[in-house]
Chains A and B, each alone.
Chain A
Amino acid sequence: MAEKMELNEIEVWDGNYAASQALRQAQVDVVAAYPITPSTPIVESYGAYVANGYVDGEFVMVESEHAAMSGCVGAAAAGGRVATATSSQGFMLMIEVLYQASGMRLPIVLTVVNRAVASPLNVRGDHGDMYAGRDSGWVQIDAFNAQEAYDLTLCAFKIGEDMDVRLPVMVHQDGFVTSHTAQNVKPLQDDVAYNFIGKYQPYEEMLDFTKAVTYGAQTEEDWHYEHKAKQHKALMDSRDVIDRVFAEYKELTGREYNRVEKYFMDDAEVAIVALGSAVETARYAAEELRKEGIKAGVVAPRCFRPFAFDGIREALENVKAVSTLDRSCPMGAMGTLFNEVSAALYTTEKRPLVSNYIYGLGGRDFSVAEAKRIFKEQKAHADAGHLTTPIQQFSGLRGPKLGFFETKRGN
């Protein structure tokens, strides 16, 4: 049996350490991993737990991230709890196998410390990797700070392993800003955390030898479509389980999580929709602006996948202007959040004005002042009754102002 670790009521942890502690407390059977900045400390901390007897599962240090996820898939099919961590280029190398993991309905937990994707090479945080995972069939949950990285990693096991879900789950946090910033974190004691997740329940495991099972069959045009649709439905239906797990976690800890987080949205006229650490920046800016009489609010899709089409519509249908903030360069299109939020809002009666900011690429700082400026710009749109700027703009970018597409559509 693994040694238990006595934890203080409040620990000072960064996001990486918080995630590694959650993996330890989940008593993961196999971690197959490959280190990459900025998620390396998750794997290193786990290595320290192994070396000091705090973990009795297997720790397999493989030769690449593709192999890390491949090892996770093999291990998960063998009927136990599996997790790993990665970032950026490592995430990109894993992508082929991410699709295999979800297609085989294996509840692997992947902690992703978001980082920009080369070229040019960059180790800092943006959401290029997270966005690249969006069609991979995983549940994608986003943590905005270290406490959330810890809480949501625990929840991830319970969500993915639920017999009604059986899908892999990513828990994202921003590289460096979250992963390397020490904050106060309130952890659960080992037993409490483990009991919340519960014992791993195998489904059609390869190590039950009287029940031979084939994993990874091929399907062509006569079967492929049905399997993909079934998987899509499972991901859509995971919304109920996510809600239930968040409710149970609130019961246990008092900390509340929702598929769509809303801050100051009860009477908001203008809003920012964002992911990651920028949510906290925008919240602070909104709070400040409210002192100036601007009814600003923030909406954050806690679940990037399954995307809360319903929750986004409900959160934003009564605002006048919304700016969607995408921390990934969409390369020849509008940002993903813009597209998905716009689609949800198009189905509402009032159809608020929606615009798009690309921001924070490669770890470029996103300040409170900039968030305030964006809110004020939304206020100007709202007052004019139409967008007063190009639909897509760039925040914090040097050089001549860059923007794409215009509309004079009013409300």
Chain B
Amino acid sequence: MSRGVLATEKRGMRELGAEEHVGWDEVTQGTLLPSFEKDVDAAHVRPEERPYSDFNSYTATVASWRVIKPVYNRDICIDCQNCWVWCPDTSIVSRDKQMLGIDYDHCKGCGVCVEVCPTNPKSLLMFGESEETEAALAKWPEKKKKAK
């Protein structure tokens, strides 16, 4: 399965429901869920540097929801960040104003990023989940001429 950029140690490490089902003596008091293992000021620390706890959905994957996936073509991208702002699954990884790629652990394949991509041809296109990235890039369409 495609994993994509900045796949840090904990990201997407298990399917939802695959976590260990511990007994009553080990569940958290008050059903509380601490987001991190250690103190962190998340607003000022990048995700890849945060001490996520196993309770953070960052550590889970929903990749199995996907039947189609977006493939990113860096050569055409203008880093407009449309895909970043409208991604409902926090799955467009942008750092220092640059689009780096797709977080395939959290992407559900909705296709919004492709629809909002303004380049011609698009820098993001949907392919079947099993399509290899190289093969997808090889199939990339040419620039479309504007209809008169």
Contact = CB atoms under 8 A, between A and B. Distances in A.
Contacts of B141: none
Interface stretch (A117-125, A183-191, A203-211, A303-311): A203-211
Contact of B27 (A103, A166, A213, A223): A223
A305 to B, nearest CB: 18
Contacts of B29: 105, 166, 203-204, 230, 234
Contacts of A233: 24
A80 to B, nearest CB: 16
Interface string B80-121: 000000000000000000000000000000000000000000
A226 B34 contact: no
B42 interface: yes
A24 B11 CA distance: 49
Nearest to B42: A212
Contact of B36 (A204, A211, A215, A223): A211
B21 A222 contact: yes
A203 B32 CA distance: 10
Given A209-B41, A226-B24, A230-B24, A214 B30 contact: no
B130 interface: no
A219 B24 CA distance: 13
B137 interface: no
A331 interface: no
A103 B36 contact: no
Contacts of A226: 22-24, 27
A211 B39 contact: yes
Contacts of A103: 30-31
A104 interface: yes
Contacts of B32: 104-105, 204, 213-215, 217
Query: Range of interface residues on chain B?
Result: 20 to 34
B23 A214 contact: no
B33 interface: yes
Contacts of A399: none
A233 B39 CA distance: 30
Contacts of B35: 212-214
A216 B40 CA distance: 22
A333 interface: no
B75 interface: no
A204 B24 CA distance: 19
A162 to B, nearest CB: 13
A181 to B, nearest CB: 38
A328 to B, nearest CB: 30
Contacts of A212: 34-36, 40, 42
B78 to A, nearest CB: 35
Interface string A95-134: 0000000011110000000000000000000000000000
A227 interface: yes
B134 interface: no
Nearest to B40: A210
A89 B18 CA distance: 44
B91 to A, nearest CB: 21
A210 B41 contact: yes
Contacts of A227: 24, 27, 31
Interface string A227-242: 1011001100000000
Nearest to B35: A212
Interface of B: 17, 21-25, 27, 29-36, 39-42, 55
Given A211-B36, A212-B42, A226-B23, 17 more contacts: A104-B32, A106-B30, A166-B30, A203-B29, A204-B32, A204-B34, A210-B39, A212-B34, A213-B35, A214-B33, A217-B32, A217-B33, A226-B22, A226-B24, A226-B27, A227-B24, A230-B24
Sorted from nearest, which 10 A-B pairs have the closest CB atoms? A105-B30, A210-B39, A212-B35, A214-B33, A226-B24, A229-B24, A104-B30, A230-B24, A226-B27, A217-B31
Interface of A: 103-106, 166, 203-204, 209-217, 219, 222-223, 225-227, 229-230, 233-234
7 contacts: A105-B29, A204-B32, A209-B41, A210-B41, A211-B39, A213-B35, A219-B31
